[in-house]
Structure formats: structure tokens, C-alpha cells
Amino acid sequence: MSFLQVTAQLWSGFQTTLYLFFVVLVLSLPLGLIFSFGSMSRFRPLRWFTRFWVWAIRGTPLMLQIITVFYVPGLVFNTPMKDRMLACLVAFVINYAIYFSEIFRGGIEAIPKGQYEAGQVLGMTRSQIFFKVVLLQVIKRILAPISNEVISLVKDTSLARVIAVTEVLKSAQDIVNGHAIIWPLFYTAVFYLAAVGLIQIVLGLCERKLAYYKG
């Protein structure tokens, strides 16, 4: 197989990687915010429920979670999951939402009480205080840990191959198996590095955008 042919095949796998990455990112960030409200709730059963899921999801490998989402519906409820991509998305979104929720919680709890009180004495509603006063400060504080997770996500998408979703690493593996050449496997690193480099530039811009104030 020529270099160009390999590149074309890896690129088609990489599109799946990118699809997985963007969909998971777009869905897990807001879901994570909702989870973080759950784990900070004053309503204890809700807090325990959320904390239980934080423990369960953080306590098991993502690979196992993907396998579970894909096979358990068929094994237990006799309704086999047909869509491999969907199974991946469900597992990834829940997993990343849980990790994001812990970062959000840390960021929200780090905002001084005085910011809320200042909003209160100025007659603002709870949601006005959250969206107009607190949120941007939280985003500034959590940008670095969120960046870590986002970058991990790019590489974690490779776990999708465990249920035979053909992302970039699996398409390389297919070439290796079919053509008795091994270098396409290492070539995938270029795709990951390019994606992560781009993400680093974007997140760096966000960080600079928020550097106009301190505190």
C-alpha cells in the first residue's frame, strides 16, 4: 500500500475519531454541569445518587463501560444494541460528563461566598448571580483542568475499537492485519498530535481571552 493510500484510509478513520470527539464534547459539557448541580444539591437523596455515579464511573475503566453499554442491553433485556457508534457515544458522554462535573463542582465551590452575597444584596436572582457573576469566574478557574480532559478525550476515542468502531487506530490495525506492514500504526500518532496541537492553540486563545482580569 502506498503512503497516500494509507493516509486516505487513516483519514477516513480519523473522521470517525473527530465525530466521536466533537459529539462527546458538546454533549458531556452541559450534562456535566447538570451533574455538578446534583452533587452539590441540598436535597440529600439526589446528592447521594450523583455521588454514587461519580464513584461508579470513575471507579471502572472506560473500556469496560463501553463494553457494558454495548452488550448488556442484549444480554439482559434481549434487545441487542445494533448501533456501535451510539453505544460508544452513550458510554463516552456519561464518562466525560462525570469527570467534567467534578471539575465544575471544584470550580463553583472555589468562588468566594462574598460574590454570591454581593449579588444578593444588589437584588439579583439566584440564576442572575450564577450566569452574570459566577459562571465566567468558574470558567476561568477550570480552564486548565478542562483542557486536560479535552486532550485526554482525543486519545480516549481510540477505546472505541473495543467494540469494532473503526476510528483511526482501528483503521491502522486493519491495514497492518491485511497488508503485513506495521508503520501505519505509528503513523496514527501524527493525526493525534495534529488534533491535540490544534486544541492547545484554541484553549490557549481562550486562556488569553480571560487573562484581562485577575481574581
Partner 1 sequence: MPVLEVKNIRKSFDGVQVLKGISFGLEKGKVLSIIGSSGSGKTTLLRCMNFLEHPEEGQILVNGQLLFDASRPGALSDAQLRANRLHFGLVFQSFNLFPQYNVLDNCTLAPDLLARDKAKAEGKPFDKAAAHAANVEKAKALLDRVGLGAKLKNYPCELSGGQQQRVAIARALALEPDILCFDEPTSALDPELTNEVLRVIKGLKSADTTMVIVTHEMEFARHVSDHVIFMADGVIEEEGDPEQIFTAPQSEKTRSFLAKSLEKL
Q: Tell me how far CA of residue 66 lies from CA of 62, 90, 96, in angstroms.
A: 6, 8, 12
**Whose Cβ is closer to partner 1: residue 82's or residue 113's?**
113
Q: Where are the alpha helices (DSSP H) in the chain?
A: 3-39, 44-58, 62-77, 84-109, 113-121, 126-128, 135-156, 168-179, 183-209
Length of the chain: 215
- DSSP letter at 78? S
**Least CB distance from residue 116 to partner 1, whole Å?**
9
For binding to partner 1 (CB under 8 A), which residues are involved?
A: 112, 114-115, 117-126, 128, 132-133, 136-137, 140, 212-215
**Whose Cβ is closer to partner 1: residue 23's or residue 135's?**
135
**Least CB distance from residue 126 to partner 1, whole Å?**
7
**Whose Cβ is closer to partner 1: residue 186's or residue 213's?**
213
**Whose Cβ is closer to partner 1: residue 136's or residue 182's?**
136
**Whose Cβ is closer to partner 1: residue 74's or residue 112's?**
112
Distance in angstroms (rounded) separating the CA atoms of residues 30 and 26: 7
**Least CB distance from residue 142 to partner 1, whole Å?**
14
Distance in angstroms (rounded) separating the CA atoms of residues 86 and 96: 15
Q: Count CB-CB contacts under 10 A for residue 8.
A: 11
**Least CB distance from residue 75 to partner 1, whole Å?**
48
**Least CB distance from residue 5 to partner 1, whole Å?**
52
